Each structure stands twice: as structure tokens, then as C-alpha cells.
Structure 1
Amino acid sequence: MKNFRIFLFNVILLVPALMFAQQTVSGTVTESEGNGGLPGVGIIIKGSTMGTTTDFDGHYTINNVKVGDVLIFSYMGFNTQEVTVGSSTTINVVLQEDSQALDEVVIIGYGTTTVKDATGSVTSVKAEDLNKGAIVTADQMLTGKVAGVTVVSQGGAPGAGSTIRIRGGSSLTASNNPLFVIDGVPVDGGNIDGISNPLSTINPNDIASYTILKDASATAIYGSRASNGVIIITTKKGTSDGFKATYTGNVSVSQNIRTVDALSTQQFRDYITTNGTASDIALLGDASTDWQDELFQLGVGTDHNLSLQGGNEHYNLRGSMGYTNQTGTIKTSRFERATYAIGGNTKLLDEHLKIDLNANLALVNNRFADTGAISSAISMDPTKPVYDSSSPYGGYWQWLQTNGNPIAVGAPKNPVALLKQRDNSAYATRSIGNIQFDYKMHFLPELRANLNLGYDVSSSDGHDNTYNSATASNVELAKLGNERTYEQSKTNLLWDFYLNYATDLESIDSSLDVMAGYSYQNFENKGSSVSDIQDPTITQFFDFYNVLNLQSFFGRLKYGFADKYLLTLTYRRDGSSRFVGDNKWGNFPSAAFAWKIYEEDFMSGSETVTNLKLRLSWGITGQQDIGPYYPAIAQYLGSTETAQYQFGDSFINTYRAEPFNTTLKWEETTTYNLGIDFGLWDDLLTGSVDTYYRETKDLLNFIPFPGGSSLSNAGNANIGTMVNKGVELSLNVNPIRKDDLNLDIAFNATYNDTEITKLTTNNDPNYEGVETGGFSGGVGNTIQRHTVGYAPSSFFVYEQVYDENNKPIEGVYVDRNNDGEITIADKYRYKNPASYLTFGLAANLDYKNWNFTMAWRANVGNYVYNNIDSNLGYGLQLLNSAFPEVISNGVENVLESGFVNGGAERYLSDYYIQDASFIKLDNINISYRFNNPNDKKANASLSLSGQNLWTITDYTGLDPEVGSGIDYNIYPRPITFMLGLNLTF
């Protein structure tokens, strides 16, 4: 009887379960935004072909569903969701919009926003999308990645910096560099003594993302320093999913693939024997030396990084250390760096208080090669040997007078000796960090208080010594040598505080976000140097101490209506110690409006458009970075000990009044921006188009002053206006999106045009403009002019005349004003160094465990003055009767042009202005990932990459990418191959 009761009890339990096993499940599928029902949602039982779709109101019914079955809900433009069937027969699902890119959080000034809610021109680039390969400095990661941003390397030296321009820059003689903000700290972008690139102190492996603020709406919150754009660097933080360790290491080799086309030994002999006198021919030696080969070497580099991170929902922490050692492709050049970083955050007081901490430390050791050795290698007689055992100058062959002293003028120095006999080394320490407190009020959670305390501190010391060098005037001084030491320290302290109130006003379907704050930043720069310390009679001491103080009040209001119409207003009032009186303060407002068109009802049924947003903005930003710390303050300069005035037996220091201008004030840039963001076909194609117009007035300009009107014949003044306009296009195509195969292609294009519209207080049509662009070979001459109606730094040259064979006729130029003679009045503006079109193309292909990336870049319309040809490509360079004891080499252009004389007009011929448009294959990277099936966190990957692989150009010089537009003495950019290993566990 007992067993029967147990059996009956089990049947009672089992029958409902059997009935439920074949139950019918129903429910409603809605979207997260607005809770509206979604029609046409596909629902399928996982592992079967059984399924259904939702009706017009989002309702569905599906039969024959068992407990434990998994229902898959999928709908274009939304994240697919899986739900396991339990005891309930009603399952309602809320699908989230598949807008990972749109919901991506981006850092903006004093806060964050999302891509979909951004009203300004903001571009964010994550670490995984940055350039890969043997990246030593942080700026190299951005090359070609963002529309409107150009990154031009300053040469191939290890650790060398780059010239970064956002939308072409907006100043003439003031800084055109963007403002860099690292983890909330606006850092000092100026040079550190001995460190050619301030960003070389940041380990690229610690960077999580870049955010580029381009238009005034996005940048105006930084006011005083934002006229050239803002680049926000965010470093990596810990995660809350437990402990993880990562090791990244690589080895690389670099080699110069091109050298300057100096005459070969045989070409040189032929030229001397054909054109030289008997005494010239007698100077020929018996050697055959390729001097450039003697300078260059195979560069070898290695990089190692270890990071540890971990945490939970209450705190996270990440620490890293890295070591980089890279030798350059020119002998004696080397870059060595050790970095340490720690970052973390924690939440206290029931998660109302969030504390973020970041600290980065870099120790850098640089040895700089004497780049003057490059020009010496081109001009040095290739029939001479490198070494001479009888030479009193370290055993290196040199051009000497009969008395054994070096030939000081007209004779190139042994380029190998220039490298080996000079030790130019620097040692620097730099630390950047901050601690940020963000407190959400207990009594009013919508109100937050944020305090950010930051610092950027660096110190450096170095020496520049030469030993037994023929650069001295005689043997005795050469043995004495030349020694210079220096030291510098820079301190940048930041104190930011702001209140932020954000709330949803549901009664009027609106959102409100208001922020107001104050910023204090103080810069100190001090140091000293001692030159010629080996000779007390000529030893020179130099000390300096400078302070710059910036203070600001700022505020921002963001208002959204119906999550469709967004308005952002910002205002910043900045004060700078560079100016005095009423000019000390500047006001920088901005306004922006965005319309999320894709949220409109008339777009809800579109299967084509997944994102469409219109952006309009206007704003004013400022500039005060003109180099001098006290350009508007009266100062006196004390004389050195070697320039004292003698009174009887006493020597008295004198003081000289320094030039200053009390009328100096902020340079202001007004920007208008129209932009459209879009996504099509389930974000198969996404992108944005921006067009902008910028006008800079009260240009901080360095101009000549009339005689007697100032303490100097030139100085800083607010004179001139400049207009900058352009169009930017960014496209991203994701044509293949499968579990084991994904292809992503990114393309960007930029058109930019810059024109100077005013340079004088009155419109003087005869004003030729401001000279700029000094070059080698012409004493005091310049090749460029800032002129009204033209782009900055346009070339100012004579128009060369050619014969019927298109060969230039020496000394013959076009008489453009038809006055019967060639004078300076016949010079004209011809081209400029800035390209008007730039392109970037990057492809990322994932196939199972394989990854392949490739990056191309192109510039169109940039021109370069080939100063190597103009200075080393004429007959008198090789055979100069003024220096009968010397013969020098030159470049092959001497054979092409047939030029003999080195007159000033020849240097200024447009013959040497060359089209330097180019297409570059910057980077190829292929990697394979080894997964650990027993540990999802553990994996390893191997990668092989190449950089600077291929350049297509008509430019005849080494490299068409010359930021200044004047090509001379450039450290060649090598081709680099790298093998890398990444371990995660």
C-alpha cells in the first residue's frame, strides 16, 4: 500500500511535467528604447528548425517547447538574445539595440559622452585599432588613422617625434600643436632638454584609446589651448573579472632602403678629370669609399612589457613595466627607455565615492647622432679613406693645411669622425599622474563633485662633448676638446574642480546635464648649461627660470529632448600670465546642436538606415603659446661674465632692456562645423562627413618693427587673420561578419585649404609678407613667405627658364614684370608644403585564429624644396676655385642640370620645388593566436609585421614626407621588420 502511494504521488508530479514538456510559450518582444513592440522578430528553438515570428505588435506564440529548451530571439539592428525555457509559459523579451559603436563611451573635456549623443566632431580610436608593429612613440600609433589628423615623422632616429596637425593648424608663428591630455592632465608639449619627442616618455603599450576633439564645440571647454584641437590619451585600467597577466615582447631590425644619390667614386673621378685643373686632379686619392655606407648600420630593437591586472566590483588595479632599446640606422644613435605605470579605481561610501589613480614613470636614455654627418657623407671625397694612421685627429683622414691644422672653411669633415668623436647623450625622467575623486551626493545622487589633482614632472641632464675632433681650428684645441653640460627640470601642477548635475525630466521628455568648474595650472621651467668647460677663458654659464600660470572658469550645459534633439553650450574664461592688464583674460564660448534623425518615427521602419545624425556647431577657441614666457612684461637681461663693463680695476655686470609688447592678447579662432554621422544596412557601412570653416584673428605673429618704434627690430604682435576650411570623410565597411571570418575596412579622406587673409593693420597691396624657411647654402636667405592671399609658408622663388630639351638654363629666369632685368620683383609664390588632400586606408581581417592588418596612406599636393640638390648639386660644390686645396663630392643633379655657379638666384629657382605627393604602405601585420581550451583567459599569439614598406612618389629625394617643406640633412626613415610574442594568462 505504501509503494502504491509513492507511485501515485510520482504520477501526480510527472503528468504536469509531461504536459509542460510539450507546452506552448507566448509573450511579447519589445525594444529597450520606448518599450514598443517589435514586429518580425525571429524566434527559433536552438538546435532545431522550429520557430515563429512576432506579429505587428510584437506578440508571438510558439508550440512544442520543452523545459530546458533555448529560444533564440533575433532581429536586424538588435543584439540577439537567448532565453532558457523554465516553468513559465509566458516569456517577454526586451531586445537591446545593436549599437555597440553608438553606445561606446568617449572621453570629452571634464566628462564623457557616447558616440550617439556627441554633438561635436569627436573621433575615438581604441588600442586594437591603432597602428601595430615596432611602435616606439605614442604619436606613431595615430598615423593615417583619423580624418583631418596628419602625423609627419621628424625623421628616422630612434625615439624621434612627429609633427601632428589637426585640420592644418590655425597659427603662423605660435604653436600649431594640439593640446595633449593624458588621463585628465593637460601635459606640457614642449621639449625636454635632450628629449626630442615629449611623447616618447609614454609607453604605447599602456594606451587604451585616443580621443580626438576637432571642432570648437568639442574643444572650447579647453579654451585657451584648444585652437589646434585636443588629443585625449587614456591609459589602460584594471578589470573586474579577476586576475590577468600579459606579456608582450618583440625584436625588430631596421635598414635604410634609400640613400642620397651622391656621385659614385667613378662618377666623381670622371667629373674631376673632365672639369678640373691639373692641381684638382692631383688631389684625387686611391680609395673607393661609399661614405653613406660607412655611416649607416642595421638598426636592432627590442621591446618588453609586462602588465598585471585584476579586481572585482569594488576595486580594480593594473600595473605595468616596460623596457625598450633601439639602435638607430645611423651609427652611435640609440634610444633606451624604461617605463612603469600603475592605475586603478575603487568605490567607497556605498559606491557614491569613486577614486581613480594613475601614475606613469619613464626613464629615458638618448644618444643622438650628429646628423651633420649625413651632408658630410654626401660631400666628402669618395677617393679618400676613412682612416689615416698618421692623422693627429684620432686617426681619421681629414683635409689639412700644410701646417697640419684642419682646413676650417670649404672642406667637409670626415663623417665617420663626426659620429665617433662626438658624444651627445641625455638622461631624462618624467612622471605624469593624477588622483581624481568623484563624489555622488547622498542627498542628491544626480549631483556630482569632481576633484582632479594632477602633475607632470620631468628632469633631465646631459652632455654634448667632442674629442680630438678636426672641427677645432688646430691640433692643440682638438686635443683639448669641447664639453657642454646641461640640466633642466619642469613642473606642471594641475588642480581641477567641477560640479555636475544630470537628470532626466520625464514630464517633458527631456534630459539635462549641467557642469561648472575651475581650473588652475602652473608650469615651472628651470635649468642651466655650461659650455666650453674645458677652457676657463671661454667658459659660458647660462641659467634660466620661467613660470607660466593658467587659470580658468568653465561651464557646460547639455540638453536633450525626446532623445532626438541635443543641445550643448559651453563657456570658458581663461587667464594667462603671458599677457598683462585687460588682455590677460579671454572668453571662449561654443554651441552645438545634434538631431538624431534615425530616432524619428518616419525612420522606424527603415531596414536600410540604422544611424543618421546631423550635427551643427560654432565656437571660439584661443591660443597663447608663442614660446617666450614674458613677451608682454618689461625685463632686463644681465650680461655674462665675458661681457662685463670695466670701471678701473672692477668689472661690472650690465643690464639691457629686453623687447616687450604690452598690447599682446589672445589669438582667437572661430570655427563653424557641419557634420553627418550615418550607419547603413545593419551597420555594414558606417561613417561621418564633416565640413568646417575656421577663421583666426589677432594672429600672434613675429613681425619686423619700424626702426626706433621698439627695443628690437622685430617682435611679437597681434596682427593678421587666416582662414582654414575643409571637408573630412570617414567610412567603415564591415562586409563579412561571421564567427570565424570577419573583415573590416576603414577609409578616411580630408580636403584642407588654408589662406592668409590679412598681415598688416591696413591693407597694403605692396607688402611682400613675412620671410620664413631658412635653408642651407644661402647666407641669410629664405625660401618661403607668409603672404596675404596664399597658404602659409608658400615658396617664394624665381621662375626657371628651360631649353628645347627641357633642361634648365643656368641663370636664366622669367622676367615676370617685364622691366628688362631680373630682380627680387620677379619672384613669385609657387606651391606650399601642405597637402590639400590626405587619405588613409586600413584593413583588418580575422579568420579563425589568424589576424591580418594593413595600413596605407596618401598625400596629394604637398611640395618640397630639395635643398640637397640646390646645395650639393652644382659645379662649384665639387670644384671651387676659392678653395684650391679641396675637392668635394656632390649629388647626381649636377650631371642632370649642368649648373656650375652657386649664385643666390639659383638657390631660389623653382627648379628645386618638387611635387612630393605620395602613396605609402605604412604597415602590414599578420598574427596567429594559440588558444588554451582549458583556460579561456590563457592564450598566446605570434606576430610578424613590417613598417614603411613601400612609397610611390615622383619626388627625387629620400622621402617625400617633409613637414617643413625644406629637405636637408634628414635622418632616413628605415624599413622595419618585427617579430612579436604576446602571452596572456
Structure 2
Amino acid sequence: MKKLLLSMMCSLVLSFGVQAQERTISGKVTSEEDNATLPGVTVMLKGTTSGTTTDMDGNYKLSVPSQGGTLVYSFVGMASQEIEIGTRSVIDLGMAADAQQLAEIVVTALGVEREKKALGYSVQEVKGKMLDQSKETNIVNGLAGRVAGLTVNSSSGAAGASSRIVIRGNSSLLGNNQPLFVVDGIPVDNSQFSSSARNNTNEPSNGTRKGDEEQGGADYGNAIQDLDPSSIESLSVLKGPTAVALYGSRASNGAIIITTKSGKGQKGLGVSFTTSYTRQTPLRLPDFQNEFGQGTTGNRDYPEYLDKDESWGDRLDQGTTKRNIFNQDVPWVSNPDNVRDFFEVGSTFSNSVSIQGSNDMANFRFSVSDLEQEGIMPNTGFDKTNFSINTGMNMTEKLRADVS
């Protein structure tokens, strides 16, 4: 019993000693701009997990070691600050706004730059660096998953294939529903360009069998993919009729404003070079059965099987042969990898070099880029060479000329 009482007394003495080594810091946090109190400011003791937040009146209390330390104040939209405690017991702080967080500038209709927080409509911006990092040959594909309410559909995985983009769903049953693209103030039509042998009449006009005229055709891509992603400074997606009212009915499906790099902010002369190399293979292939050959009901009788696309003929790999359309006997065997072997390993090789510079009066940027893409299907590819120049000069204090 005596040992138990002695242990309890020692514990009490130790706890009093620990409490004696701590003290309480209090204070109020306000905004430097209007001296308003800031509730919800995080106050942390640097290097520890000990912290608190300010109440509705901006007041806080925090237990700190007797030797002091450093308090870290952080709040959304405000610049974080660190204050040495020293011997003080009361620390009041005025926090300044963080200009980098609040002054987010976006390019709106007609190329006007405005603060995003001052807009009364929805605008979402994508930096050109993000588009360049995706390494897509078509910048439309680079927007997939980056903008809310935006849907991107690629026509195929072929080299140079076109892509369709829709903002907030389709608005017309007959129109293409695509937004208006504006590059440095110039509207660009993003319609797909393709050739097709499809004939809308009931009878073919080229002497082929009925149905063959619907096969084939080539996808030549769309105009916006001519842009070099490395030359894009920013991309603003304007949603809704209010945002695109200045562009009229052409932008009834929204507008995408693209601003190219101009060399602004480059002190003196600068040269940059980028290169990338990627390889592509099919991600997934369909599952095919390799037990039965072409035909129906277990039969493949020449010439009836020519118009049959079913694969429920004789069993394969039974050591038999069948006569083909060239009147030749060939082994009746399965080829489980024939579809996979049809595809090749695609590759994309891209190089870009640019020269830019600026001073207080003028700026310029000149770039050359080259892209060579080999498709995963034999005899397909896409090559693109871009030359771009963007210059600007302050003619007077109130007049500026830009050429791109």
C-alpha cells in the first residue's frame, strides 16, 4: 500500500512538472486589407502536430513549450506567415492577401484578360504546359478529363484521326454540336474532313457488289489538330450563352479560346528545344473462338460459303484440308494470333525548337516543330510540320499591334 501511494505521489509531481514547462499563447488574426477578423485560420507550432484554428471572432489559444518556438499561420487566399514566439504570451497578426492565389487571369471573349473571380459565368482554363505533357498529336484529345462537362470522342485510334468535342452535351439533333475554336482571335472550324465511298442510292455506281460501296474511306482529321501543343500558352473553355454572347450563333455550343505563346516575359533572347518519343500498341483485343472455321451448321461448301461471314463451319485442326477460292487445297487449321499479328508497334517522334525574346517595347517568338507518327495498322502514318511566329509592339502608350 505504501509503495502504491508513493508511486501516485511521484506521478503527480511529474505531471505538475510537465505542466510547469508549458504556457498558453493567445491572440487575434485579422485581414490587413480591411482589418476584418478571420475565422478558421490554422495556427500550428512548427515542427509538431500541435495546433488550433481561430474562432468566429478570429481569436485563438494554443499551449506551447516554455522555451517558445515558431507559430505558422495559414489560410486560403492569404499568404502564410511564421512568427517567433519568444517570451510573448499574446500574438496578434494581420494577414495579407496572396496575390498569386487571388489574381488568376483568364482569357475571355475577344481575347480580353480578366480575373476569374470577377466573371459572372463559367470559365475553365487549361495551361499549355498540361497539353504539351500529354503528348497527344491532337490537342482535342489532350483536353479529355481536364475540363468539367467536356466530352471528347476520338473517331479511331488511327494515326492523325479526327476527334469530336462537345461541351455540356448535345444541343442539336442535326448540327455537329461542337464549340467554336478561336486561335489568337481567329475563328477556326473544327469539322471533320473525310473521304468515303458510301453511296446513298440503292444501287452502287462503281460496278461493285451491293454493300461494298459502304466500305473504306479515309479520315483526314480536323483543322484544330494542325496546332502544335508546345506553342499554346493557355486554353480557356467558355461555357453557356452568357460567356460566348459576343461570338453570336457560331458559338451556340460554347467556345474554346486558344492563346499562343508570344515571348512575353522572356528577358533578352531565349532558345528552347523539346523532344519526345512514344510507342503505341493495342491495349485490348476481342476474344475470338478458334475451334470452328468459316461457314454455318458445320459445313463449308464451295462456293456457297463466299457470302457467309459466320464462323460455325467444320472443326479446325483436325488434319483436313479445304479448297479455297483459288481452287487450291489448304490446311484447315486455326490461326489464334492472326488479329494480334496484324497490328504493328506504332511510334510518335516529335521535335520542337523556338526562339523568343522581349523588352519594354516589343516581343517575339518563332518556332518550328516536326511530328512523325507511324500507326499501329500497316501503311498508316501522320506527318506534320509547323512554323509559327508571334510578334507584338507598343506603338504608343495607348496603341499596341500584335501579329501572329
TM range (shorter): 0.5 to 0.7
Aligned partners of 1:279, 1:177: CA distance in 2, in Å?
48
Taking structure 1 as the reference length, the TM-score comes to 0.27
The change in CA–CA distance for 1:178 and 1:285 in structure 2 (over 3 A counts) is farther
Taking structure 2 as the reference length, the TM-score comes to 0.63
CA RMSD of aligned residues (A): 3.9
Partner in structure 2 of residue 107 of structure 1: 107
Asked if 1:317 is matched to 2:361, the reply is no
Aligned partners of 2:329, 2:281: CA distance in 1, in Å?
30
Q: Indicate which of 202, 207, 231 corresponds to 2:232.
A: 207
Secondary structure of 2:100's partner?
coil
Query: 1:33 Cα shift?
Result: 4.2
Partner in structure 2 of residue 286 of structure 1: 330
The change in CA–CA distance for 1:332 and 1:130 in structure 2 (over 3 A counts) is same
Counterpart mapping for 1:628-777 below 5 A: none
Query: 1:81 Cα shift?
Result: 6.9
Aligned partners of 1:186, 1:95: CA distance in 2, in Å?
44
Partner in structure 1 of residue 390 of structure 2: 343
2:279 aligned partner, one-letter code: V
Secondary structure of 1:234's partner?
strand
Asked if 1:334 is matched to 2:360, the reply is no
Aligned partners of 2:184, 2:275: CA distance in 1, in Å?
25
Asked if 1:160 is matched to 2:185, the reply is no
Q: Higher strand share goes to which structure?
A: 1
Query: 1:175 Cα shift?
Result: 2.5
The change in CA–CA distance for 1:201 and 1:129 in structure 2 (over 3 A counts) is closer
The change in CA–CA distance for 1:217 and 1:326 in structure 2 (over 3 A counts) is same
Partner in structure 2 of residue 299 of structure 1: 346
Query: 1:179 Cα shift?
Result: 0.6
Partner in structure 2 of residue 116 of structure 1: 117
2:330 aligned partner, one-letter code: D
Partner in structure 1 of residue 256 of structure 2: 231
Query: 1:249 Cα shift?
Result: 0.6
Q: How far does the alpha carbon of each residue in 1:165-189 deviate from its partner, in whole angstroms, 9 at most, with x for none?
A: 1111211112311111111111122
Q: Indicate which of 258, 277, 284 corresponds to 2:284.
A: 258
Aligned partners of 1:285, 1:258: CA distance in 2, in Å?
34
Secondary structure of 2:292's partner?
helix
Query: 1:241 Cα shift?
Result: 4.3
Aligned partners of 2:256, 2:139: CA distance in 1, in Å?
12
Which stretches in structure 1 are left out of the alignment for 5+ residues? 1-28, 44-55, 59-70, 84-92, 359-985
Query: 1:232 Cα shift?
Result: 1.0
Partner in structure 2 of residue 357 of structure 1: 403
Say if 1:131 and 1:143, in contact at 8 Å, map to a contact too: no
Q: Indicate which of 266, 272, 280 corresponds to 1:246.
A: 272
Query: 1:342 Cα shift?
Result: 1.7
Q: Higher helix share goes to which structure?
A: 2
Asked if 1:136 is matched to 2:137, the reply is yes
Aligned partners of 1:37, 1:103: CA distance in 2, in Å?
22
Query: 1:237 Cα shift?
Result: 2.5
1:286 aligned partner, one-letter code: V
Say if 2:162 and 2:220, in contact at 8 Å, map to a contact too: no
2:364 aligned partner, one-letter code: L
Query: 1:345 Cα shift?
Result: 2.6
The change in CA–CA distance for 1:254 and 1:309 in structure 2 (over 3 A counts) is same
The change in CA–CA distance for 1:95 and 1:339 in structure 2 (over 3 A counts) is farther
The change in CA–CA distance for 1:39 and 1:337 in structure 2 (over 3 A counts) is closer
Say if 1:318 and 1:343, in contact at 8 Å, map to a contact too: yes
Secondary structure of 1:199's partner?
helix
Q: How far does the alpha carbon of each residue in 1:699-733 deviate from its partner, in whole angstroms, 9 at most, with x for none?
A: xxxxxxxxxxxxxxxxxxxxxxxxxxxxxxxxxxx
Partner in structure 2 of residue 97 of structure 1: 97
Query: 1:72 Cα shift?
Result: 11
Asked if 1:308 is matched to 2:355, the reply is yes
Secondary structure of 1:158's partner?
coil
Aligned partners of 1:191, 1:40: CA distance in 2, in Å?
52
1:355 aligned partner, one-letter code: A
The change in CA–CA distance for 1:244 and 1:40 in structure 2 (over 3 A counts) is same
Query: 1:76 Cα shift?
Result: 2.4
Query: 1:261 Cα shift?
Result: 4.5
Aligned partners of 2:141, 2:378: CA distance in 1, in Å?
23
Secondary structure of 1:123's partner?
strand
Aligned partners of 1:175, 1:278: CA distance in 2, in Å?
46
The change in CA–CA distance for 1:177 and 1:32 in structure 2 (over 3 A counts) is farther
Say if 1:182 and 1:234, in contact at 8 Å, map to a contact too: yes
Secondary structure of 2:293's partner?
helix
Say if 1:161 and 1:199, in contact at 8 Å, map to a contact too: no
2:380 aligned partner, one-letter code: S
**Paired residue total:** 299
Secondary structure of 1:216's partner?
helix
Aligned partners of 1:249, 1:166: CA distance in 2, in Å?
32
Aligned partners of 1:94, 1:206: CA distance in 2, in Å?
42
Say if 1:131 and 1:142, in contact at 8 Å, map to a contact too: no
Which stretches in structure 2 are left out of the alignment for 5+ residues? 1-28, 44-56, 60-69, 84-92, 195-218, 305-321
Asked if 1:276 is matched to 2:295, the reply is no
Aligned partners of 1:273, 1:279: CA distance in 2, in Å?
16
The change in CA–CA distance for 1:142 and 1:101 in structure 2 (over 3 A counts) is farther
Query: 1:158 Cα shift?
Result: 1.2
Aligned partners of 2:240, 2:169: CA distance in 1, in Å?
12
Query: 1:137 Cα shift?
Result: 1.1
Query: 1:192 Cα shift?
Result: 5.4
